[in-house]
Amino acid sequence: MTVDRSLRDARHTRVDLDTLGGSIARVAGLQRRVELTTGLAGGGWQRCSDLLAQPRRLGEWRARLARWLRQEYGDADARTTASYVMSWYLRVPAHVGALLLHHERRVPSLRPEELAVRTAGRGRPEPDGIAVLGGSFYCLPFDPGATRPEATVVADERALAAVLRARFTAHAARFVRAYAPISPLGTRMLWAGATDALDACLWWAGLDGGDEGAGVADAALVLQSRFPPLTSASTLRMETGEDDRRVWARRRESCCFTYLLPGRTECDACPRRSPKP
């Protein structure tokens, strides 16, 4: 992943250290899933608000994926393309929110107008870039940027977790309203996908940053129980791996429908294989 030059420079500018841009600069290098930036340098970017205002763009994304799947597998079921795009989109706000909560104890707005996504230009058209365009954030009282005009201070970590859950859910609700009419997936499946995105991204923030247990703890903090319309509490739990080691795993709430592709079977975490206890 290449970190935008403006972010590298921000690390050396005192005034930027307390801003949301400074936070993005710090967390960008603590993950390798996407390019994380604060600007739209280069081409291929789409604001999330534009995708939701013009759902045909989400349909075009599915069409690109269908072409790639046919090249790779010879077929592309509509449920598979719909589920992949659902998961990819919802991970945009979830990934940003999880990273900043985990590493900075901050939560950005996550409004669709303040996020943009770029998809890979070749091959599998998954997101390879996320841009955070707004500057407002929520933080704890001892945060070094707590006195900045764009900061909203909350009482404690539980309150900050509730803010992340609420901000993500508000973004996901706009996605569900836009995507449900053009998707073969039901509303319940879309909210299951939103739950998976938030739970998984909190886990990955810790895993990628070198403290998986802390990521699991964040997932438990944010999703300590079911908060409708999200469909479950965190499903992370310890399992015994193939080498008899104890490892963290999670049961998916939504299905990716990969098993509908020729030669593929259900994933290990598929709700079809591991139903709710």
Query: What are 213-263's pLDDT values in tens digits?
Result: 999 999 999 999 999 999 999 999 998 877 788 899 999 999 999 988 888
For residue 166, the one-letter residue type is A
- Residue 273 inside a domain? The answer is no
Average pLDDT over every residue of 93-106: 98
Partners of 127 in the beta sheet?
Answer: 119
Q: What's the pLDDT at 13?
A: 45
DSSP state of 113: G
Query: At CA 91, angle to CA 185 and CA 73, rounded to 5?
Result: 60
DSSP class of 112 = G
- pTM equals 0.92
**pLDDT value of residue 274:** 62
Question: Is 228 a domain residue?
Answer: yes
* Residue 277 lies inside a defined structural domain of this protein: no
- Count the domains in the chain: 1
Q: Is residue 276 part of a domain?
A: no
61 backbone φψ class: left, alpha, beta (φ>0; ψ -120 to 50): alpha
Using DSSP's 3-state secondary structure scheme, residue 98 falls into: helix
40 lies in a domain? yes
Amino acid symbol at 14: R
Which domain range does residue 100 map to?
5-260
- Distance, CA of 63 to CA of 243 (rounded, Å): 40
Q: What's the pLDDT score for residue 242?
A: 76
Has residue 1 got a pLDDT over 80?
Answer: no
What is the Cα–Cα distance from 153 to 161, expressed in whole angstroms? 13
- 84/257 Cα distance (integer angstroms): 8
Kindly state whether residue 267 falls inside one of the protein's structural domains. Answer: no
Vertex 94: Cα angle to 133 and 22 (nearest 5): 40
What is the pairing mode between strands 137-139 and 106-108? Answer: antiparallel
CA distance 23 to 26: 5
CB atoms closer than 10 angstroms to residue 194: 29
Q: Could you report the per-residue pLDDT of 161-186, keeping only the tens digit for each?
A: 999 999 999 999 999 999 999 999 99
CA angle in degrees (0–180, nearest 5) for 4-6-8: 75
- The confidence band for 92, taking pLDDT boundaries of 50, 70 and 90, is very high
pLDDT band at residue 3 using 50, 70 and 90 as cut-offs: very low
Report the C-alpha gap between 25 and 17 in whole angstroms: 9
Q: State the average pLDDT over residues 55-63.
A: 97
In a domain, 59, yes or no: yes
Look at residue 266 and tell me if it is in a domain.
no
State whether residue 151 is helix, strand or coil. strand
Using CA atoms, how far apart are residues 275 and 173, in angstroms rounded to an integer? 25
Q: Where are the beta strands (DSSP E) in 38-158?
A: 45-47, 106-108, 115-119, 127-132, 137-139, 151-153
32-45: per-residue pLDDT in tens? 999 999 989 888 99
